[in-house]
Amino acid sequence: MKYRHAYHAGNFADVHKHVALVALLRALQRKDKGFLYVDTHAGRGRYALGAGFARESGEAQSGAVAVLAALRDSAGAPDELLDYAAVIEAWRRAADARHDYPGSPLIAAQLLRPQDHGVAIESQPAEFEALRKALGRASRVVAEHGDGYQRLRALLPPPSRRGLVLIDPPYEDTRGDFRAAILAVQHALARFEGCVIALWYPVKDARDTDRWLQELARGLPRPALAAELWVHPPDSRAGLNGSGLAVVNPPWLFADRCDIWQGALRPLLDPAGAGGTRVVSLVGESR
């Protein structure tokens, strides 16, 4: 495995993904009934931004570090951004880790209620051991070592018939990972049609991304949207131009709120104004 998320922890894509994750978790918590959270590619869970790979790349400085600093003095920001910042800061206080950054499993563990539970799956042995340690024994999210796609088949549908699945593969094998992600979404919906699914994807060339989104949409029986934030023009040769989330069964008004918070988040991540945002319906009416 060549991909190491520690290089990219806290970058602009992480911030975009995690703001959306917090918003989705909050949306499911509008009802008292519990739900299952599944993270198919969980990673190690906790990342030191001031040391190691993250310090070497420096990507977090223009990502989470910049955004959290800006939000400390921005009471007028959209609720989703303020909530994201509050969750990260609360985790840092609880973990006594001012310069660390939580991955999606630890963010979920910070938010899940007693009636909710989560499963975070990681296939790489060393990353899994770090994840298990980071979550600890008292967490409402349980770490599992295995293939996240395969485990979905066993975990869905949950007894509560309510759930959120985050699919965030490394996209090392670009074609293979994109195709596998589509199949995973289709298989998950076949088992649990009402599941909320958030599928993260990189935006490198908008033409390739749009073709893939069309392929994804053709196999979806449920409403879905795509929310994207770019820090470079989506057809530039910068490498990773943007961050995207395909959300199946989006909660009520999620698309409208995405328009608002993505518009407020982009200048914090892209002060030069080179990028942009969009929220588009893939299937059905998702607003």
What's 41's DSSP letter? S
pLDDT given at position 7: 66
Closest CA to 100 of 129, 60, 147, 66: 60
Domains annotated on the chain, with CATH: 5-283 (3.40.50.150)
Q: Give residue 50's identity as a one-letter amino acid code.
A: G
pLDDT given at position 175: 84
The helix (run of H) or strand (run of E) holding residue 234 is none
Q: What SS3 class is residue 121? A: strand
pLDDT given at position 195: 97
Distance CA 220, CA 284 (A): 10
The helix (run of H) or strand (run of E) holding residue 37 is strand 36-39
Q: Report the alpha-carbon angle 93-99-100, nearest 5.
A: 80
Q: What SS3 class is residue 167? A: strand
- Using only C-alpha atoms, the chain has a radius of gyration, in whole angstroms, of 17
The phi, psi pair for 194, rounded to 5°, reads -90, 5
Rounded to the nearest 5 percent, the helix, strand and coil shares of the chain are 45, 20, 35
Residues with a catalytic annotation lie at 168
The helix (run of H) or strand (run of E) holding residue 46 is strand 46-48
pLDDT given at position 57: 60
pLDDT given at position 219: 86
Mean pLDDT in order along the chain per 10 residues (287 residues): 66 97 98 98 91 65 94 90 97 93 97 97 96 92 97 96 96 88 96 97 93 94 97 85 97 97 97 96 79
Distance CA 32, CA 203 (A): 36
Distance CA 68, CA 17 (A): 15
